[in-house]
Amino acid sequence: MELDVSFWLTQFLNGLANAMVLFLIASGLTILLGVLGVLNLAHGSFYMLGAFLIFSSSIIKNPSWFWVGLLLAPLVVAGFGTIIEAFCLRPLYGRERLYTLLLTYGFTLILDDLVLLIWGRDYKSVPIPALFEGRLTIGDFSYPVYFLFIIAVGPLLGVFLWFILNKTNFGKLIRAAATDSEMLDALGVNVNRVFTGVFALGAWLASLGGILAAPMRSVEPGMGVEIIIESFIVVIIGGMGSYLGAFVGAVLIGMLKAFGIEILENFAMIFIYALVLPILILRPRGLFGETTI
Amino acid sequence: MATTPVLETKALTKSFGSLLAVNEVDFQVPVGELCAVIGPNGAGKTTFFNLISGRLEPTSGGVFFEGEDITGYPPHAVVKKGVGRSFQITNIFPRLSVLDNVRIAVLARRGKTLDMFSPIEKHTEEQEEALSILGEVELGHKAHHPTTKLGHGERRNLELGITLALEPRLILLDEPTAGMSIEETSSTIELVKKISADKTVVFTEHDMSVVFSIADRISVLHQGSIIAEGTPDEIRNDDLVRLAYLGEEV
Amino acid sequence: MESTSGKKLLSRLMERIPNRFGVTVLLALAVLAPFLVQNDYYIQLCTEILIASLLAISLNFLIGFTGLVSLGHAVYLGVGAYAFALLTKNVYPSMWAGLIAAGASCALLAWFMGVFCVRLAGLYFAMLTLAFSQVVYTVAYYWRDVTGGDDGMLGIPKPEIGIPGAFSISLESFTNFYYFVLIIVTALIFLAWKIANSPFGRVLQAIRENPERVEFIGLPVHRYKLYAFIIAGTLGGFAGGLYSTFQGYISPDLLYWTQSGEIVLMTILGGMYSFLGPAFGAGMLLFIRDTVLNFMEYWRIVVGGILVLLVLFLPGGILGFFEEWASRLSIGGNDGDDTRS
Amino acid sequence: MILSVEKINTFYGDSHILFDVDMSIAEGEVVSLLGRNGAGKTTTLRSIMGLTPPREGSVCWLGEEVQRLKPHEIARKGVGFVPEDRRIFSRLSVEENLEIGAFKLEGPSGWTLERIYGLFPKLEQLKAHKGNELSGGEQQMLAIARALMGAPRLVLLDEPSEGLAPAIVKDVGEMIGTLRDEGIAVLLVEQNTRFACRLSDRVYIIDNGRVRFGGTVAQLEADEELKSRYLAV
Amino acid sequence: MSGLGKKMFVAAVMSLAIASYGASTSFAAKTIKIGVLSPLTGLYSIVGKRTSQGINMAVKEINDAGGVLGHKFEALIRDSETNPASSVRTARRLILRDKVFALLGPLHGGAAIAVLQESKKLKTMNFPWAATEEINTKFCSRYTWRVGSSAQQTSRAGAVIAHRLGLKKWATISSDFSYGRSVVRQFWNYLKERDPGAKRPYAAWPKLGENDYSAYINKMQKAKPDAIFVGLFGADLIKFMKQARSFGMYEKVKIFTDFGGNHVVLKALGDQAPFGHWASSRYLHNYPVSAGNKRFVDNFRKAYNVYPDMTAGEAYSTVHVIAESIRRAGAVDKEKAIDAMGGVAFNSPEGWIIMRPSDHQGWQSSFWGVISKSKKYPFPILSNIQVISPVEGSHPDESTGQGCRK
């Protein structure tokens, strides 16, 4: 019996750790959808860029590499996102939404090859930062510290996002832009800059997800394509524009994956869609969706 | 009343959250009448039309068309019953030609829109009819233009043409002359009069001179309730109406 | 000076050439293609382009015609392909039976999915179609006993056509198969074109323009959207059946969401507001990719770059752009019916 | 003149809406723009604000051409905008809505939250409420207050009386009076002619996208033909 | 953009397409072209890279030695995209348009099966990289061959070691696709055959490309096995290893990985590699310590500044085997070369490879070793290498290769 408790607890934490990485990517995706109405397929590429940049910083043989990378890499990616938004996405806002979909798809192709050009093709592995090596052991129960770190970072970033959105001027502008960007413009706010800021924030979050995931996963081109569809499902479940929804959706997916394999090991994916379809059919706005896109 | 009214609402109510947009409205339109619903902006005229035409579902109360309960019917079913409607904000098919805008309505009325295999031009009867309706609304010469080339008044007329093509027994017109020039307004009024000769028409209108000159009967809607009903003369001399609507210090 | 008179000449030329002329040229090119390319590889590339054209046009029934952006259209490619393969391999090796199975299974599937999907609009519609297609993908991937799972299905036949006992034509040769596909695809595209220009097709365009007004001319919009959904699915299913016999091998990749994205890409690339635009986009995409992939290692950068540039500078799609260009040249000459509809 | 509009032509897509519209507003003046539904009143405001920039003609702010500027740049020059449907940010509280109005300012202005709450005590009571919890009149009040927070020299007011109960329309009239007292110029778009005339120094009438009349209220009152032709109430 | 600008842009795109189209149609006289399908982009691009390097090196060696029967070799290397549709399209292009003599690749099992069907139809010999043993059995044909070890050879060899070590209670994990299933099936069946007492309380089948194995690892721990057999491939293996390590699996159980001895994997894992655990590789740069292998490694390093990995070694040998078959046939003729292929022997860097006529599989030894730190190399290597003879590793009788005569 003792053993079972630790098994289920471990499975629960596994689901949570998985969920937190998803949350980071999905939260950016959902805010982007809520404010800009853009389904950014290149979002997965930002996740990938984050992972590649942390790989580069892991080459520095100094224990502080992880923190340097954690701080700098998302800024680099956010800057890159800024450029894409300002020069390529901005001209498209007045047109049909489909075009932004195509444009960001084009960028996923470009970025996948770009990382090959820059970083080469070798398999890449990012070590776990020294501080989080090892396991936390309590009696029978033993769990990797790094996973616990990821689980802790997720809610922290959730609170951070809540703070940004609700307590800062930038957050007010984001919420205002989500309701009526034209009015915001007419009130003297450079909405384009708000949009760019939102895009950069999304890129920042996604790359952070990539950084956190890198020591646990592999770093490879195409890793963005894998993650984007799952984050997209999270957004659907949570509701477009709702970061709280993204959090709940991510936890749901994480749990389904962790516990789904107990029931129907090979068909765990089916559970996820078994959840998504009725939600979309009965509550197309998702669990927490409020804004109309 | 001896005959069944064409349209009747019974205690029709619609609330949006705490706002009572339409409040227990009892309303009757006898056959053949040209009836105006007036009221200040936000009085609930458009909501009232939306309830009748099925765009909105009432919170409570009922809508009866020719005695039949049509409460909660979807718009297309209401139209099929014989209620046509035009909109306050011009509501046409922008990227179709002027002819197609009307032709579709004619085809829809005649139940030919499920024809998937014969070219639309081969439906000559419908085409003729559409053209003649366009003639009625003075757009005959522009049948093959894209709607983007129409002026504001012409679009309003096209809107009306689409509604006419449905050959409804009851027509709901939401501000048919909104934004029209004086010339356009007078020709549209003539048109409405002509239509009302053999149809029942309910319309809303801003332009009081239009209302008082053509309506058989006027109902005044104020904050969701009907506060007065009667002939134009009765309404003109109603103190309550003057106070609520025609102006604070008339 | 010179350029203006040249423009005038061109514009007069454009007026004189009715749409039918372009289609005739296109058809003639298609018929002669095997002789023009002189290489089995290009014949089969043309075959693939034909099938992709049908697929893109079928999707455009939703995107361009009815204004419904489906992100799950690969589901018909896949289900049609599996239906063809299962029937011809396990039950009865007949081309016609296989194609009918492909179309019919997709019609049924579209009907089922459509009932749920058409009630939603915009991004929500897109997401539901995507979710449905992913479900089917997952089923195909894991249901190994029937679909072969990730290994896919091998040895899908190209059954002979003809009248049993009287005559038969083998489709094993690239050229024969090309002509077979050309006939089927042309017939189906012609059918789609008929539908597009019928009263029903015009209602779909009206729904794209203003669904609410369609409701107010007395037509149940959901039901019309459902019919459009079924038509698009069925045509897509035929494309899937053809693809199945063309490749001789199918795998769940056909159903994956990236495949759906590619079909959307073809449609937009060619121009969703022109009838043949999507077919043109299909041809362009396959041709560009085939070319670039074979000449550079980092071909995705090139394809991605072309895509980005096209979206930024040719928003109407390639064919859409040329049509607009042509119509701008002939402005004043032809103020009549909008032929682009 | 604080604002002068010269021969602007504005289009929505292919539709030509405004034809050679001329108009001017002096410092501190209240000017009404009257006309029927669809006459082009809102489009005129949108053209001035840069939301639907005119294709031809010029919009001059203090002698500088601004018709090519972005809406936020025009707003920053001192133009406040109160649109027809108020367009309150529904997910923001009343106070946040007001703060957004002041974001365009580089430094502090005379318009502080305290001063606004002094003028509109109702808003102080409601300050924690979300925008979508307000009534129509409260929204109108907030929309005007929001514009004031940006310390404008000119406020574009689009149909402030629309859909409001008479008692509240009176309040709106008082608000416009407040603006005038503060020395802020107002361009008022109205269908309620009587209401507009009572508040204005000068009046323009627009019909079918063309300016048909420009003059004082007295001139308009005197011209019955004009009134019945274009306003016809 | 002005109208003219747009037009010029369109013209530029078109002419680019047309120009590049014409560019490659030049043929050198008397060349033997081999078409190569490898994943150059996406998840498995490293395999594509090393494969290309191995092939280019072999081609260069052959050409430097004067070619084969007076013909030079030329390799046309194309991206297979890990996608069956794209692989088949490119395979047809290589065979029909570029008229290649032989087709190598692709890697992905499903794509490989699709391509080998195509090459059979178009009568061109095909050497898939995919290692699933079904290529030698139910999907085999006259035109399908493989030089590198099959999953069967290495897995069965792994079972031999496992049996020797007396490990009884097992858990297995492998991706749910043909190669993944094949590896585990061969290992487990052979182990059961040798040791009927072996038990397997848990077999995990995550999807290909799974990111998070922690839920599976937890279930494995619950099953309390003595050892686990890992059939995961490429980046999946790296992800699994890192996660298994953080859960303490390295200390709790013996780990056997079929793919884990590959140099690129060990190099990537670095300090996080499962030291002391067993792994195999179809080619090793540090074993056998022969002059041939040393020469190959040195030349490879000189040319590309990296160590050759398993796929490089396989690709290199495959080209040489093709050359050898042409020499044996005495004519540059596809069918004659195939007739001569059975029995071709090539002294590869890893030792002799003999092409077995029955199932078209290259007979060779399999290597398993213990993952260790090395003083000589800056990355982990396999040491304590166990060489399992092909007699033990390959199919016991010829009946399984029945498809190959079709």
Q: How many CA atoms lie within 13 A of B191 on its CB side?
A: 25
Residues E45-97 pLDDT 10s: 888 999 999 999 999 999 999 999 999 999 999 998 878 888 999 999 999 99
Query: Closest Cα of chain C to A110: distance in Å?
Result: 4
| C327 at B interface, C-beta within 8 A | no
Q: pLDDT tens across E213-227, in order?
A: 999 999 999 999 999
Classify domain C10-340 at the CATH topology level. ABC transporter involved in vitamin B12 uptake, BtuC (1.10.3470)
pLDDT tops 80 at residue B106: yes
Is residue A16 within 8 A of residue A151, CB to CB? The reply is: yes
CB nearest E216 (choices: A121, A223, A261): A261
User: Which 8-state DSSP code applies to residue A287?
Assistant: S
- In contact, C276 and C146? CB cutoff 8 Å: no
Q: Per the domain annotation, does A270 fall within a domain?
A: no
The two tokens of residue D118 are 């002094």
With beta carbons less than 8 A apart as the criterion, state whether E337 and E325 touch. yes
Supply the DSSP symbol for D25: E
Helix axes A191-213, A43-58, angle to 10 degrees: 50
Instruction: Find out whether E262 and E283 touch, Cβ atoms under 8 Å.
Output: no
Q: At what angle do helices C74-86 and C257-270 cross, to 10 degrees?
A: 120
Categorize the per-residue pLDDT at C10 as very low, low, confident or very high, splitting at 50, 70 and 90.
low
Does residue E398 have a pLDDT over 60?
Answer: no
How distant, in Å, are the alpha carbons of C310, D123, E321, E335 from that of E331? 50, 96, 15, 10
Residue E29 pLDDT exceeds 80: no
Whether the predicted pLDDT of C276 surpasses 70: yes
Say which CATH architecture domain B7-82+168-248 belongs to: 3-Layer(aba) Sandwich (3.40)
| Residues 107-136 of chain B whose Cβ lies under 8 A from any Cβ of chain C | 107-109, 112-120, 123, 126
- Burial status of residue E34 (CB atoms within 10 A of its CB: 0-12, 13-18, 19 or more): buried
Query: What pLDDT score does D97 carry?
Result: 94
Give the dihedral sign, CA E134/E139/E142/E143.
negative
Region D125-151: mean pLDDT is 90
Closest CA to E207 of C256, D49, A19: C256
E204 and E276 inside one domain = yes
Residue B189 has pLDDT above 80, yes or no: yes
Average pLDDT, chain E: 88
Nearest by CB to residue C124, choosing from A106, A107, A284, is: A284
Question: Do E187 and E159 form a contact (C-beta atoms < 8 A)?
Answer: yes
Q: How confident is the model at residue C1 (pLDDT cuts 50, 70, 90)?
A: very low
Band (D193; pLDDT cuts 50, 70, 90): confident
In CATH, what number is assigned to the domain containing residue E254? 3.40.50.2300
- State residue E278 phi and psi, 5-degree precision: -95, 140
Domain range for residue E235? Answer: 152-281
Return the residue of C nearest to E81 by Cα. Answer: C293
Residue with the larger pLDDT of the pair B178 and D140 = D140
E156 belongs to a structural domain: yes
Query: Quick one: DSSP state of residue E233?
Result: -
CA distance C180 to A90: 46
Virtual torsion, Cα B3, B5, B10, B13, nearest 10 deg? 180
Determine, yes or no, domain membership for E112. yes
Which domain-ending residue is among E236, E262, E281?
E281
CB < 8 Å to B92, chain C:
210, 213
Distance of CA E375 to the CA centre of its chain: 28
Pick from C139-148, C225-234, D162-171, E113-122: least confident = D162-171
According to the model, what pLDDT value does residue C111 have? 97
Helix residue ranges, H only, chain C: 2-16, 19-37, 40-60, 74-86, 95-117, 122-142, 144-147, 174-196, 199-209, 211-215, 221-247, 257-270, 277-293, 299-313, 318-329
pLDDT at residue E17, as a whole number: 47
Considering just the CA atoms, what is the radius of gyration of chain C in Å? 21
Residue E249 lies in a domain: yes
Tokens of E235: 């980046």
pLDDT score, position B207: 73
Q: For residue A230, which of A15, A46, A25 has the smallest C-alpha distance? A: A25
Please name the residue of chain D whose CA is at the shortest distance from the CA of residue A179.
Answer: D89
Give the tokens for residue A147: 């996973």
Please name the residue ranges forming H helices in E25-173. 45-64, 84-92, 109-121, 151-165
Shortest distance between the Cα of A135 and any Cα of chain E, in A, equals 7
pLDDT of C338: 35
Best CA proximity match to C289, nearest among C81, C52, C69, C76: C52
Q: Which residues from chain C sit within 8 angstroms of residue E139, using beta carbons?
A: 154
Task: Give the tokens for residue B141.
Answer: 């010469």
Q: What was the pLDDT predicted at E393?
A: 64
Whole-number Cα distances in Å, E283 to E261, E287, E322, E369 = 9, 8, 19, 12
Predicted pLDDT at E397: 53
Residues E1 and E118 in one domain: yes
Whether residue E63 contacts residue E116, with contact meaning beta carbons closer than 8 Å, is answered with no
Which of B40, B148, B175 is the closest to D14 by Cβ? B148
Residue E269 and residue E299 in one domain: no
Per CB-CB distance under 8 Å, the chain E contacts of C318 are 10
Count of CB pairs separated by less than 8 Å, B with D:
53
- Low-confidence winner among B4-8, B218-222, C270-274 (lowest mean pLDDT): C270-274
Minimum Cα–Cα distance from C120: chain A residue = A284
Q: Say whether B184 sits in a helix, a strand or coil.
A: helix
The residue of chain E nearest to residue C150, with distances taken between CA atoms, is: E177
E206 near E175, Cβ under 8 Å? yes
How many Å lie between the alpha carbon of B164 and the closest alpha carbon of chain C?
10
Taking each continuous run of H as one helix and of E as one strand, the counts in chain E are 14, 14
Please state the rounded mean pLDDT for residues E344-348.
93
Other CB atoms within 10 Å distance of the CB of residue E200: 16
Confidence band, pLDDT 50/70/90 cuts, at residue B121 = confident
Nearest residue of chain D to residue A165 (CA atoms): D92
- pLDDT surpasses 90 at B213: no
Does the distance separating the beta carbons of D36 and B179 come in below 8 Å?
Answer: yes
Residues from chain D that touch A290, judged by Cβ atoms under 8 A, are 91
Q: Is the Cβ of C197 closer than 8 Å to some Cβ of chain B?
A: yes
Nearest CA of chain D to the CA of B147: how many Å? 9
Domains of chain B by residue range = 7-82+168-248, 93-159
From the CA of D181, how many Å to the nearest CA of chain B?
24
Q: Name the average pLDDT for chain C.
A: 86
Interface contact C200-B116, CB threshold 8 A: yes
**What is the mean predicted confidence (pLDDT) over C298-326?**
81
d(CA E54, CA E58): 6
Burial-class residue C246 by CB neighbours within 10 Å (0-12, 13-18, 19+): buried
Is the confidence at residue C330, as pLDDT, over 60? no
Structure tokens, A113: 């090859």
Cβ of residue C249 closer than 8 Å to a chain B Cβ: no
Q: What percent of chain E has pLDDT over 90?
A: 69
CB atoms under 10 Å from CB of B1, counted, come to 7
Question: Residues with Cβ < 8 Å from C2, sequence gap 6 or more?
Answer: none
Cβ–Cβ contacts within 10 Å for residue C209, how many? 18
For residue range E114-163, what is the model confidence (pLDDT) as tens digits? 999 999 999 999 999 998 888 888 888 999 999 998 888 899 999 999 99
Q: How far is CA A187 from CA A101, C219, D101, E263, in A?
A: 30, 42, 6, 61
Q: How far is A244 from chain D (nearest CA, A)?
A: 15
The tens digit of pLDDT for each residue in D76-128 reads 999 999 998 889 998 899 999 999 998 888 877 888 899 999 888 889 999 99
- Residue E332 to residue E329: CA distance in whole angstroms: 8
- Of A76-90, B39-53, D141-155, which gets the smallest average pLDDT? B39-53
C275-302: average pLDDT? 88
pLDDT of residue C333: 35
pLDDT digits (tens, 9 = 90+) for E240-298: 999 999 999 999 999 999 999 999 999 999 989 999 999 999 999 998 999 999 999 99
Secondary structure class of E141 (helix, strand, coil): coil
Selected residue of E242, E259, E309 to mutate for chain A interface (largest A Cβ count, 10 A): E242
When pLDDT is cut at 50, 70 and 90, the band that residue E24 belongs to is very low
Cβ of E110 and C251 within 8 Å?
Answer: yes
Cis peptide before E288 (omega within 30 of 0): yes
Q: What is the pLDDT of residue C147?
A: 92
Mean pLDDT calculated for residue range B11-33: 87
E380, two tokens = 């982990």
Cα E295 to Cα E291: distance, rounded to the nearest angstrom: 6
Rounded to an integer, what distance in angstroms lies between the CA atom of residue C64 and that of residue C273?
5
- D87-122 burial, b at 16+ Cβ within 10 Å, e below that, comes to bbbbbbbbbbbbbbbbbbeeeeeebebeebbebbeb
| Exposure string for D191-210, b = 16+ CB within 10 A, e = fewer | bbbebbbebbbbbbbbbbbb
Instruction: Report whether pLDDT(C310) > 50.
Output: yes
Residue E264's pLDDT is what? 93
Query: How many whole angstroms separate alpha carbon E94 and alpha carbon C51?
Result: 21
pLDDT-above-90 percentage for chain C: 53
Domain that holds residue A177: 25-221
Assigned domain for E73 exists: yes
- How many CB atoms within 10 Å of residue B175? 23
Distances (CA, A) of E82 to A40, B230, C223, E152: 24, 78, 41, 22
A221: nearest Cα among E264, E212, E43: E43
Mean pLDDT over residues C33-46, rounded? Answer: 90
Take residue D90 and report the two structure tokens written for it. 């529904």
Task: List, as one string, the DSSP characters of D54-66.
Answer: -SEEEEEETTEE-
**pLDDT < 50 stretches in chain A:** 1-2, 291-293
E17, E90, E177 ranked by CB distance to C293: nearest = E90
CB D136 to CB B148 under 8 A? no
Q: What share of chain D is helix, strand, coil (3-state, %, to 5)?
A: 40, 25, 35
Report yes or no: A107 at the C interface, CB cutoff 8 Å: yes
Cα distance between residue B78 and residue B72, in whole Å: 9
* pLDDT exceeds 50 at position E28: no
C195/B120 touch (CB, cutoff 8 Å), yes or no: no
Of the candidates E47, E45, E52, C260, the residue with the CA atom closest to the CA atom of residue A112: E45
Residue A287 belongs to a domain = no
